[in-house]
């Protein structure tokens, strides 16, 4: 099999990472691990078997596809955003199979091969794959720790006027993963004005936007839905909103100045028509899933608040000299922990696995540049989480 048969886009290294190899070894030895990096809701007791009944509409046996998705389904997306104070038109909503697919469609819509999309760093580890699959070049805008995490706006402005391949879009993750910061209102205003002036798009990933924590500051912008100052694509989906990643349904809400928005919609319609990727049963079920979704989220929000408290309690229990800190977070499913730099991050991961049977993610998994940062998922069952984080904090404190 000659490598020449295949595209350069898919020439990925398939060597398992050191962490993956360690985990595989532990699993093969039958060790019982607690996975503090788990972000699959169906693996942390958040299984909703009742949803299966909603997929049984007899209409689902028929096929009458619409590129944007079935009207009643899109109307329920509009109602979801209306409950959050944003008025959208049903014609501006497209259903997709996942947020990953939404990224793919938007990269195809906006970029020729080699053109640039700016993404935040640290951030979502899938970006390099999604970009490469569409021949898009990624450049990074750093999220910097000041009071909370703020985008390096000066670097973004410098890049937009610099020579080099054209920048076609800026991706915002609102709130960011794993930093947990909503886009600051001042930065949002600046980004909208830059995007409008330079005719670039904002792609705003809001999959975690329904999960603010108590620490949310007044200067944070909760959503870009319906923003019409610049061409904006707000993305969300059932994976996080309804804790149903297995159903594979997400959406893009497009807004912006009328002429550019309508051109985007017409082109996006042809992309959507080429794939028609969302199954009919899940589209038919969408209103019955999304309409009551707000109350469904309450339990997880309470669980995450308990888990944040459990981290703080574990640190307090070690005492005032505890070298472990929890970084402030405004929202989302993760907490970032600062741990002593007595070991490298990968050594910490191996040590925690060997001595405590705990799995956490190292910061570099999310492109965090500094050492001494660990990321834990907040969606685990509260009892399991409290026990595990207590052990992790004590282990990190021993150095």
Ligand X SMILES: Cc1ncc(COP(=O)(O)O)c(C=O)c1O
Q: Of 245 and 281, which has the nearer Cβ to ligand X? A: 245
Check whether the bond before 122 is cis (ω within 30° of 0): yes
Query: Which 292-321 residues touch ligand X, going by CB under 6 A?
Result: none
Among 34, 70, 77, 98, contact with ligand X (rule: CB under 6 A): 98
Segment contacting ligand X by CB under 6 A, of 8-16, 93-101, 256-264, 323-331? 93-101
Taking the complex as a whole, the smallest distance from the CB of residue 307 to ligand X amounts, in Å, to: 17
Query: Which 32-91 residues touch ligand X, going by CB under 6 A?
Result: 39
Q: Is there binding between residue 242 and ligand X (CB under 6 A)?
A: no
Q: Of 37 and 99, which has the nearer Cβ to ligand X? A: 99
Among 207, 358, 378, 389, contact with ligand X (rule: CB under 6 A): 207
Query: Which 333-352 residues touch ligand X, going by CB under 6 A?
Result: none
Q: Could you tell me how many helices (H) and strands (E) the chain has, helices first?
A: 13, 16
Among 69, 237, 287, 331, contact with ligand X (rule: CB under 6 A): 237
Residues written for the chain: 399
The radius of gyration computed from the CA coordinates of the chain, to the nearest angstrom, equals 22
Tokens standing for 79? 């109602």
Among 69, 80, 88, 99, contact with ligand X (rule: CB under 6 A): 99
Cβ proximity of 156 and 136 under 8 Å? no
Taking the complex as a whole, the smallest distance from the CB of residue 373 to ligand X amounts, in Å, to: 17
**What b/e string do you get for 312-340 counting C-beta neighbours within 10 Å, with b at 16 or more?**
eebbeebeeebbbebbbbbbbbbbbbbbe
Q: Is 57 exposed, middle or buried (0-12, 13-18, 19+ CB in 10 A)?
A: middle
Number of residues that bind ligand X (CB under 6 A): 13
Q: Of 123 and 397, which has the nearer Cβ to ligand X? A: 123
H/E element, 337 = strand 334-338
Q: Of 178 and 287, which has the nearer Cβ to ligand X? A: 178
Q: Of 121 and 391, which has the nearer Cβ to ligand X? A: 121
Nearest CA-CA partner of 279 in 317, 247, 257: 247
H/E element, 233 = strand 232-237
Q: How many CB atoms lie within 10 A of CB 52?
A: 9
Q: Of 151 and 173, which has the nearer Cβ to ligand X? A: 173
Sign of CA dihedral 267, 271, 276, 277: negative
Among 245, 328, 340, 390, contact with ligand X (rule: CB under 6 A): 245
Taking the complex as a whole, the smallest distance from the CB of residue 334 to ligand X amounts, in Å, to: 9
CA distances to 70, 176, 178, 194, 332 from 218, rounded to whole Å, are 37, 17, 20, 23, 17
Q: Is there binding between residue 205 and ligand X (CB under 6 A)?
A: yes
Query: Which 172-201 residues touch ligand X, going by CB under 6 A?
Result: 173, 177
Q: Is there binding between residue 250 and ligand X (CB under 6 A)?
A: yes
- Separation of alpha carbons 205 and 233, rounded Å: 8
Q: Of 237 and 256, which has the nearer Cβ to ligand X? A: 237
Taking the complex as a whole, the smallest distance from the CB of residue 124 to ligand X amounts, in Å, to: 4
Q: Of 239 and 283, which has the nearer Cβ to ligand X? A: 239
What is the residue whose two structure tokens read 């600051």?
A: 184
Taking the complex as a whole, the smallest distance from the CB of residue 177 to ligand X amounts, in Å, to: 4
Helices (H), 134-184: 153-161
Taking the complex as a whole, the smallest distance from the CB of residue 275 to ligand X amounts, in Å, to: 15
What is the residue whose two structure tokens read 């570099």?
A: 364
Taking the complex as a whole, the smallest distance from the CB of residue 98 to ligand X amounts, in Å, to: 3
Q: Of 100 and 137, which has the nearer Cβ to ligand X? A: 100
Q: Of 206 and 391, which has the nearer Cβ to ligand X? A: 206
Among 100, 132, 137, 219, contact with ligand X (rule: CB under 6 A): 100
User: What is the distance between the terminal CA atoms of the chain, rounded to a whole angstrom?
Assistant: 48
String marking each residue 123-142 x if it binds ligand X according to CB under 6 A: -x------------------
CB contact set of 140 (below 8 Å; sequence gap of 6+) = 118, 119, 120, 121, 367
Summarize as ranges the residues that interact with ligand X (CB under 6 A). Answer: 39, 98-100, 124, 173, 177, 205, 207, 237, 239, 245, 250
């Amino acid at each position: 099999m000659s490598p020449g048969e295949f595209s350069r886009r898919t020439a990925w290294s398939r060597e398992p990472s050191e962490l993956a190899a360690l985990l595989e070894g532990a699993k093969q030895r039958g060790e019982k691990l607690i996975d503090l990096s788990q972000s699959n809701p169906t693996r942390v007791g958040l299984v909703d078997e009742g949803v299966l009944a909603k997929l049984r509409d007899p209409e689902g046996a028929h096929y009458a596809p619409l590129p944007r998705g079935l009207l009643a389904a899109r109307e329920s997306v509009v109602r979801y955003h209306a409950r959050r104070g944003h008025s959208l038109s049903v014609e501006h909503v497209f259903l997709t199979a996942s947020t990953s697919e939404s990224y793919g469609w938007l990269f195809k819509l906006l970029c020729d091969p080699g053109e640039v999309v700016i993404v935040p760093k640290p951030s979502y580890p899938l970006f390099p794959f999604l970009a490469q699959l569409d021949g898009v070049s990624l450049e990074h805008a750093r999220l910097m720790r000041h009071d909370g995490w703020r985008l390096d706006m000066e670097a973004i402005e410098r890049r937009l006027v610099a020579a080099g391949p054209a920048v076609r879009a800026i991706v915002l993750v609102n709130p960011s993963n794993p930093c947990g910061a909503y886009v600051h209102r001042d930065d949002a205003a600046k980004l909208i004005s830059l995007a409008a002036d330079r005719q670039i798009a904002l792609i705003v990933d809001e999959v975690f936007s329904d999960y603010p924590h108590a620490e949310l500051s007044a200067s944070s912008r909760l959503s870009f839905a319906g923003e019409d100052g610049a061409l904006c694509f707000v993305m969300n989906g059932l994976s996080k909103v309804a804790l149903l990643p297995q159903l594979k349904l997400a959406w893009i809400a497009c807004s912006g100045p009328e002429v550019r928005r309508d051109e985007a919609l017409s082109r996006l319609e042809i992309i959507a028509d080429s794939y028609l990727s969302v199954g009919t049963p899940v589209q038919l079920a969408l209103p019955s899933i999304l309409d009551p979704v707000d109350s469904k989220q309450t339990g997880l929000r309470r669980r995450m608040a308990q888990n944040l408290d459990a981290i703080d309690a574990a640190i307090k229990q070690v005492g005032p000299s505890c070298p472990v800190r929890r970084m402030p977070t405004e929202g989302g499913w993760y907490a970032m922990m600062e741990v002593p730099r007595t070991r490298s991050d990968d050594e910490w991961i191996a040590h925690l696995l060997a001595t405590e049977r705990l799995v956490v993610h190292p910061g570099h998994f999310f492109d965090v540049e500094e050492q001494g940062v660990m990321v834990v998922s907040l969606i685990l069952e509260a009892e399991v989480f409290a026990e595990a984080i207590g052990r992790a904090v004590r282990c990190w404190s021993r150095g």
